[in-house]
Amino acid sequence: MAEKVEIPVQKWSGRVREVTFGATKDEGGSRSRTVTVGGEATLPFLHFEGEIPHPPRVAIEIQDKKPEEWSPLLIKVWEEVIDDPAAWAKRAEERGADLILLRLSLDDAQGEENTPEKAKSAVRKVLSATSLPLLVFGPGQVDKDNELLVAVAEEAAGERVVLGVCEEKNYRTIVAAALAHGHLVDSRTPMDVNLAKQLIILIHDMGLPLDRILMDPSTGALGYGIEYGYSVMERLRLAALQGDTMTQQPILVTPGEEAWRAKEAKVGEGVPEAWGDWEERAIMWETMTSTALIEAGADVVVMRHPESVRLVKEAIDKLWMKEG
């Protein structure tokens, strides 16, 4: 005779905040629809335990010029659109993106310095080519990030774009730009729960409402420190559910960038034959990294290869099915 097993249910006192990307025409933007994440009242996919109003979302990363340093596999798969951010954004939308992340480069395709005007133009083109909400990340150099993102914030005023990345040493200018033009920010810290919370406090202290801040605790790829990233995300999410208010932000992580940095994904030569087919392995590397992080509580994963995106979205769909 089958024993009836009672599933223990944990009652949490806190929940994750909801954050909405993008703005429709009525809301002062031009997106066809917005995307909301967060709101979880329990751990990932435990639908029997508490409310999870929104599934995790996938952003596809594109760049304002052909990213020569990317793996040849990525360059090949986006080959037809890689020189045109507008076409790339459109193709990414067709390949299943929920959100588009545009990364600005230090130099343009001609090797000349990127400028606020060029950045504005790239953002404008991408906004026209896709109706998905947008995230715009700077090239990762303090002065250039600030210069370009301030211009982008102005150009995209009202669109509720996510500006990134804010780091402990450089967040004020970006937050001020987000405040002035109605945008959101990505708060990035290097895999540490204390620092993750601290930067949220500092950004919020500048007056940016908490429903406009994404928590980006950083991560490592499969085989390259993913367990640290996973633990930090898990700890932050547990704290959020226990009512620790400054950790209750939706989590954004960038497994695409991390996975494609790993040798296993990036290169096909000079690796053991036993590793098998390069493309298959690379796609799996990104897929496994992203899926693991979604299990740890990621609300948004930023990815690069359309086939990995398809596999991850399939996994999300399966995990999202609620019983009964």
Partner 1 sequence: MEIVGECIHIISPKVKNAIANREKGYIQELALRQAKAGAHALELNVGPQKKAGPEVMGWMVDTVQEVVDLPLSLDTTNVAAMEAGLKRAKKRAIVNSASAAPERLETMPPLAAKYNAKLIALCMGKNILPTAEERINVALEVLMPRIMEVGLSMEDIYFDPLILTVSGMQEYALQAVETVRFLKQVSDPPPRTIVGLSNVSNGVPHEGRSLINCTYLVMLMAAGLDAAIADPLDKRLWEFIRMVEERDDSTPVGRLLLRLYDAVASMGELSPDDVDMSDPEQVAIYKTVQILENKVIYADSYLRV
Give the integer Cα–Cα distance in Å for 130 and 288.
28
Alpha carbon distances (Å) from 149 to 114, 122, 179, 324 = 12, 12, 12, 47
- Which residue from 9, 142, 201, 206 is in contact with partner 1, where contact means CB under 8 A? 201
245 near partner 1 (CB under 8 A): yes
In the complex, the smallest distance separating the C-beta of residue 273 from partner 1, rounded to whole angstroms, is 40
Residue 110 touching partner 1 (CB under 8 A): no
Q: Does 247 bind partner 1 (CB under 8 A)?
A: yes
Our finding on whether 202 is near partner 1 (CB under 8 A) is yes
Q: Does 244 bind partner 1 (CB under 8 A)?
A: yes
Number of Cβ within 10 Å of residue 123's Cβ equals: 25
> How many contiguous H segments (helices) and E segments (strands) does the chain have?
11, 10
Contacting residue, 11, 194, 273, 321, with partner 1 by CB under 8 A:
194
Quote the CA–CA distance of 87 and 140 in Å, as a whole number. 24
Site for partner 1 in 24-43 (CB under 8 A): none
Q: Which is nearer to partner 1, 53 or 243 (CB)?
A: 243
What are the residues whose beta carbons fall under 8 Å from the beta carbon of 271, sequence distance 6 or more? 263, 264, 278
3-state secondary structure of 11: coil
Q: Report if residue 107 touches partner 1, rule: CB under 8 A.
A: no
Any contact of residue 198 with partner 1 (CB under 8 A)?
Answer: yes
Nearer to partner 1, 195 or 252 (CB): 195
Largest CA distance in the chain: 75
Q: Which of residues 10, 32, 231, 242 is near partner 1 by CB under 8 A?
A: 242
Quote the CA–CA distance of 37 and 222 in Å, as a whole number: 25
Query: Where in 5-24 is the site for partner 1 (CB under 8 A)?
Result: none
Question: Nearer to partner 1 by C-beta: 10 or 32?
Answer: 10
Alpha carbon distance 57, 99 (integer Å): 8
Please, are residues 174 and 135 in contact by the beta-carbon 8 Å criterion?
no
| C-alpha dihedral, 140 to 145 to 146 to 148, nearest 10° | 180
- Considering only residues 74, 161, 193, 208, which one is a binding residue for partner 1 as defined by CB under 8 A? 193
Which lies closer to partner 1 via its Cβ, residue 51 or residue 192? Answer: 192
Q: Which is nearer to partner 1, 110 or 194 (CB)?
A: 194
Per rule CB under 8 A, count of chain residues that contact partner 1 = 17
169 binds partner 1 (CB under 8 A): no
Give the residues lining the site for partner 1 (CB under 8 A).
192-195, 197-198, 201-202, 205, 235-236, 239, 242, 244-247
